[in-house]
Every structure is written in C-alpha cells, then in structure tokens.
Amino acid sequence: MKRFVLVYNPISGHATFRRKLDAIIEAFQQRGCMLIPYRTQPDDHALPDFLREAAPDGVLSAGGDGTLHEVVNVLLKNGLQLPVAVIGSGTSNDFASYLQVKDDFDGYIEHIVAGRMRPVDIGMVNERYFVNVASAGMLTSVAHEVDVRLKHAMGKMAYYLRGLGELPRFRPLQLHIEADGKAYDEAAFLFVVVNSDIVGSIKHAAAKAQVDDGMLDLLLVRQCSLPELMAFTAELVAGRMKPEAKHLLYIQAKSFTISSAEVVESDIDGERGPLLPLQITTLPRAIQVFY
C-alpha cells in the first residue's frame, strides 16, 4: 500500500482547506492508498522526524507558496529524497498554477498514485531554498504588511490594493548585480529572480523561464516615470511583457549576487527573506514533483 503525508496549512487562503480534508482522504483511500495528515504550526520543528517515521512514498503540500517553501526546505535541509505534490490552497499559488494541477484535481490524484513525476530546479539564497521567487524592492513589504483578515476576505486583491497605496512613495534602489560573473549597476524599483514564468499570479511574466533548464531568470524594473511605470505594469499584467522591453533588465543565469549600499529586505516565496546582499544559485533538478 502506498502512503503519502499530507502537509497542510489550516489558515492559508480563506482557511477553507480543512473542509476538504475528509474528501481528499477518501479519494486516496478509494485508490488503495494511505494518507497521513500533518497540520503545520508556527515555529514548526517536528516535520522532519514525522516524515522519517512515516516513511511515505511522497509528500503533498497543501497551502500557498509559503507552505510549499517550508516543505521543500525541510526535505532538502534534512536529506529527505521524497517527491512533492503541490495542492494550491493559499492566497498565492504560483507554482501550482504553473504545474496546472488545479485544472483537474481528480486527474492529479491519479498522477500522484501512479507516480508520474518530473524533476524541477530549486533556487538557493543565502543557505535557504526557494521554489519560485526571490525578490526585493518597493513592493516587497506589501505581502508582509497586508492585514491577515483583509487577505482572508479579499485574497489576491488585498495585495493589489496595498500595492496601489505604495505608488506615490516609489523611489529607486541602487543595485549592483553579478550574473554568472557579468556585472550590472542599475537604478531599479524592484527585481525578482524566478524559476517559473508565473510571478504574483501574473502568467507569462518571465517569458524564457523553464523550471528544469538549470537557470533562474532575473527581471529588474528600471527607474522610470510614473506614467511609464503604469504602462509597463499594464503590459506585464496582460502577459505581453517582452524580455527586451525598454524599462526591463532580463537576465538568465545559473548564479546571481545582488547587493546595495542601502538596507533592503528581500522576499522569498512570499515569506520574509534576508537583507541584501543575496547570493543566489540554481540547484538543477533538485527535487521531483508530481504533475
């Protein structure tokens, strides 16, 4: 009998996943599999031992990008070579959207049980792993400052509204970037280093990104006027952003070093990250993901 550990965040998204738990357990039982639930909690240190004791055939991450980030860090830091299934139930589910696993959930369960997997790259920033994005700049603090009650009530719209409130205060950062040894100095509003082509629920944001090409993609928004920034953002949201766009620096590389003379906080998969400088490297095909 195959067994899987379901790591779920009870408060992610609209905190509705708990109502789906019984149906998911039933779906796996009907397929002759054992599903072992694990409820995440703040400052959680028990998951590595739980996974060792359970000895599952795979791990299901049910939550947002932050829950997946936690699961992947536990696996890689503890040398646990287990494939991961991504069940997007958070406010932001960029990696689940990239894998298109929400389109046919019953079909996805069939793929998990059958062991259908693909290898994917993972990013590493200052000794911490990330699945989809490392970023910094003028909107980085938005995800950290949105009131939890507002996020539960409005979902992604809460982030957008908070971001609009930041526009009048936009100012550029002076950044020094080294990408595979090549140097760049830029005045930028923000940057993201991404694994997939979906960023902040915006599809096709990184036109060249592939999760198994051994590289990460840097998108840096250069300093420009507010009208130019609004026009740039409109193209980005519409999925029409080209790598050669006027106010965009687009670089693919295996490693990046990003620094600034200013105190700049980063964001890693939607969670607070370290202050700059960031040392970012690609770990090619570091985990297996059910798809």
The answer, yes or no, to whether residue 49 has pLDDT greater than 50, is yes
Tell whether 257 and 161 lie within a shared domain: yes
The alpha carbon of 289 is separated from its chain's Cα centroid by a whole number of angstroms, namely 14
Tell whether 32 and 167 lie within a shared domain: no
pLDDT value at residue 16? 77
pLDDT value at residue 161? 45
Tell whether 109 and 42 lie within a shared domain: yes
CB-neighbour burial class of residue 238 (10 A; exposed 0-12, middle 13-18, buried 19+): exposed
What mean pLDDT, rounded, does the chain reach? 89
DSSP-derived secondary structure for 9-68: -TTSTTS-GGGGHHHHHHHHHHTTEEEEEEE--TT---HHHHHHHH--SEEEEEESHHHH
pLDDT value at residue 169? 66
Tell whether 146 and 273 lie within a shared domain: yes
The answer, yes or no, to whether residue 9 has pLDDT greater than 50, is yes
Given pLDDT bands bounded at 50, 70 and 90, which one contains residue 102?
low
Tell whether 137 and 279 lie within a shared domain: yes
Given pLDDT bands bounded at 50, 70 and 90, which one contains residue 287?
very high
User: pLDDT tens-digit profile of 150-208?
Assistant: 444 444 444 444 555 566 567 899 999 999 999 999 999 999 999 999 998 899 999 99
Per mean pLDDT, which range of 13-22, 32-41, 49-58, 273-282 is the poorest? 13-22
Q: Residue 120: inside a domain, yes or no?
A: no
Tell whether 67 and 145 lie within a shared domain: no
Q: Of 115, 141, 176, which residue is a domain's last?
A: 115
Helix locations, the chain, DSSP H: 21-30, 47-54, 65-77, 94-99, 105-114, 142-145, 148-154, 156-166, 226-237
Tell whether 65 and 166 lie within a shared domain: no
Tell whether 82 and 138 lie within a shared domain: no
Q: Pick from 126, 74, 123, 133: which is nearest to 98 by CA? A: 133
Q: Of 57, 83, 115, which residue is a domain's last?
A: 115
Tell whether 133 and 109 lie within a shared domain: no
Q: Can you tell me the mean pLDDT for 18-31? A: 92
Q: Residue 290: inside a domain, yes or no?
A: no
What is the Cα Rg of the chain in Å?
Answer: 19
Q: Of 93, 115, 137, which residue is a domain's last?
A: 115
Q: Residue 121: inside a domain, yes or no?
A: no
**CATH number, domain at 243?**
2.60.200.40
Tell whether 135 and 100 lie within a shared domain: no
pLDDT value at residue 70? 96
**Looking at the 3D structure of the chain, how many domains does it have?**
2
Domain that holds residue 255: 129-285
The answer, yes or no, to whether residue 121 has pLDDT greater than 50, is yes
Task: Report pTM.
Answer: 0.88
Q: Can you tell me the mean pLDDT for 210-223? A: 97
User: pLDDT tens-digit profile of 128-152?
Assistant: 999 999 999 976 655 545 555 444 4
Tell whether 162 and 82 lie within a shared domain: no
pLDDT value at residue 244? 95
Q: Residue 252: inside a domain, yes or no?
A: yes
